[in-house]
Chain A
Amino acid sequence: MKRLLKNPFVLFLMIALLMIAVACSDDSSSEGSSDDSGDASGEDGSSDSEGLSGTLEIQYFVGGYGDSWWKEVIGDFQEEHPDLEIKEHAGPNINEEMRSRWVSGDPPDVVYIDGAGSSETQMVEDGQLMDLTDWAQDLEVDGTPLMDSFIVQPSDFDGSVYSLPLVFDTWGTWYDIPWFEENGWEVPSDFDSFMDSMGQIQEDADIAPFVTTGQHPYYFLRGMLYPAFGAAGGDELLNDVITGAEGAWTSDTVLEVMKKVEKMQQEGYIDEGFAAINHTQSQMNFLLHDNAYIPVGFWLPNEMESDKPEDLEYGFVPSPMNDAGEPMAVVPDMRPLAIAEEAENPEAAKAFVEFVFTKEYASLFSEHTGAIMNLQGVDLESNENVPQYLIDANKMINDPEQAQIYQKPHPMSADLETPISDSLVSLMLGNITAEEFVEEAEQAAKEYRNSQ
């Protein structure tokens, strides 16, 4: 053996073999990944929607809503199309895990856009989503056109539709009903009563009444400020602040809203530790009665199910940042379903998207997730599996005297949201004034406009 190793030819051969091995292993892995993408779909042709074949890849984020609804819907779709091979890519980190597939131009067919690491706006800007404008016009849900059945219309990107809003979520302010009743605390309906209530709670319970997460400041931005902007300036102001229109952030209306936040801070109503904690810690504080109000979306009860104290009962109000006498504002936060521009099996993808939008699945969605699917006329009240807070919230949202729905054009770009969120934390810590905040936000908007 020793002798063999000393032979230069043998050595050379070994090096060559090693290099071949390295080269081959590289090849085989890339082949494997292309196999993964399900190239079978393209070849067999799946034009007949009755008997779809090939592979359908679905990417969905699993967060506060869980995945049981998805499993059921996908199971039903599979039953209807037994020849179709459905591949699910799901999990709490799925957006990160699938990123390389999107980058390499080999995306899944259908994508549910939600959770960390996903951005509908960015995907549209990158041209990754299929233009559904014409196709969606012809869709029907239980006999009525889909576009007329939505509670909230799809995001509008210069007149084009790239995604269909599946989940109707909305941020609001949560409180514990029995705890409030026990102490005789008023549930607020406008900013003044909100401040009074927080003052009372601070006095009675000796706690900072309001908490949110400072590690993810967008909880406050979307949960409190968007409704405040909606209530103060309607859809137009919402549109301007989200698109970073010139002068929007320094406008008097925005400054007035930010003054309200400043006042909350000065009165000591915002928990001083908020900047240090993440969203689950802040929600935990709320459950433990360390604080009384928290702005979160409809997923809160589902997300905190295992930690909920037995006697706690979730109460939900649209964030009361409106002036007295005005209706409270609700700004829906939609989680859309979209088809990849480079989907390998677009027929199956379209069939699946169409399959999902039915009232039956909408009702089932509320049962499974405690949230609402974006379809009108779904009877939640007669469904005993739907949680009470959702029925109450749904009723409140649909009562125009109590709450007004405002729509944002599309989610705010991360390039604008990040610097604004940073300054927001400073304002809520009392390190800058409302005036300084709006100047910083306007500067961020200017930089955002320049980068477009």
Chain B
Amino acid sequence: MRFHIPYPYFTGKSDWMVQSKKQKYLFLAFCLIPTFIMFSIFTLYPLFSGLYYSFFDMSGSSQAKEFVGFDNYIKLFSDEIIPATIWHDYFLVITKVIGIMIMAVFIAVALTQLKIKEAPFYRIIFFFPNIMSVVVIGILWAFIYNPDLGLINSGLEFLGLENWTRAWLGNENWALTSLVLPSIWAGIGLFMLLLMGGIANISKSYYEAARIDGANEWQQFWKVTLPLVWPQIKISILYIVITTLNGSFIIVQVMTGGGPNNTTHVMGSYLYQQAFQQYNFGYGATIGVMILVISLLTVLILQFILRRDKVEY
């Protein structure tokens, strides 16, 4: 392609209203290139180097590495802990999606439709966990669950339910379930705000029309509110799924470290253990590739399931 200088500047013509193609592309390049460079350095490079390292046997604490082909992938498929970590991740995804969405929708509707005077106060209260670091939330809840001093066991004892007390995070059957509560608690606020925004945008006339037609509150919720905030719900679900698959690692690491006996390990925390505590960095990278593939598949499937035409009245 021959390079030529755009004419308006050098031909003396002053046709400023017409933008040449070149100009357009240059402007686009100006916007995109820096972002693309950053994206390449901070996302693409680690992504591909992760893929590259998954073919090596290396400890991650020295430069020494040995090419082992697909050995790490073979190990991945024969590792008994891997299926458990995947299940734990999806257990958290499913319970969080259900828990957060029900609570967030319920609270958002209550705060926007029921004309509660203290609505702004509740909005702040429910949003509060979102400004806290997940690490802090994890530590806080670890204290709440503490078998000796914790609020939950003390509360149960106060209510005369001594038989129900247990070492929540130290019990192989209860530890994973115990992680759901703080995860939901920490997640409601953001999605509540998102949905409140959606609900506020629904024109009051729809509700008036529904009322005239004899719809009760419940019917209004199902027939008017829910279909009209569907885009927000869809985004919320996708967001919860992605952040859980990528981020449940933190809460697991802080609260249980994957224990007892691997009953709370999610893919991310198992990756961390393999790469940084057992010095199998190559294998850790392989688990990372697995997380990427699984996350991508999940999002694709979700996109398909949640496909529902936008409703307009």
Contact = CB atoms under 8 A, between A and B. Distances in A.
Interface of A: 6-8, 11-12, 14-15, 18-19, 22, 96, 99, 102-105, 117, 119, 122-123, 125-128, 214-215, 217, 272-277, 281, 285, 290, 414-415, 418, 422-423, 425-426, 429, 431
A431 to B, nearest CB: 6
B182 interface: no
B261 A425 contact: yes
Contacts of A123: 61-62
A215 B146 contact: no
A429 B172 contact: yes
A99 B169 contact: no
A442 B134 CA distance: 38
SS of B interface (majority): loop
A8 B59 contact: no
Interface in B20-51: 22-23, 26-27, 29-30, 33-34, 37
Nearest to A119: B279
A342 to B, nearest CB: 10
B256 interface: yes
Contact of B34 (A8, A18, A414): A18
A294 to B, nearest CB: 14
Given A8-B6, A215-B256, A275-B171, A122 B26 contact: no
Contacts of B295: none
Contacts of A422: 259-262
Contacts of A119: 279
A15 B278 contact: no
Main secondary structure on chain A at its contact with chain B?
helix
A221 B167 CA distance: 21
A12 B26 contact: yes
A277 B62 contact: no
Contact of A414 (B6, B26, B277): B277
Contacts of A12: 26
B227 interface: no
8 closest A-B pairs by CB: A273-B147, A276-B170, A275-B170, A126-B62, A273-B167, A276-B169, A275-B260, A276-B167
B278 A426 contact: no
A17 to B, nearest CB: 11
A102 B58 CA distance: 13
Contacts of B171: 275-276, 429
Contacts of B27: 11
B114 interface: no
A105 B171 CA distance: 43
Nearest to B173: A431
Interface residues of B, number: 42
Nearest to B22: A8
Given A275-B170, A276-B145, A104 B59 contact: no
A122 B59 contact: yes
B63 A105 contact: yes
A426 B172 contact: yes
Contacts of B64: 126-127
Interface in B114-172: 145-148, 166-172
A429 B62 CA distance: 37
A74 B148 CA distance: 43
B34 A275 contact: no
A273 B26 contact: no
Contact of B259 (A7, A15, A104, A215): A215
Contacts of A273: 146-148, 167, 170
B280 interface: yes
Contacts of B59: 122, 125-126
B170 A418 contact: no
Interface string B283-308: 00000000000000000000000000
A276 B148 CA distance: 10
A103 B26 contact: no
B276 interface: yes
A344 to B, nearest CB: 16
B169 A103 contact: no
Given A8-B22, A423-B261, A429-B260, A272 B280 contact: no
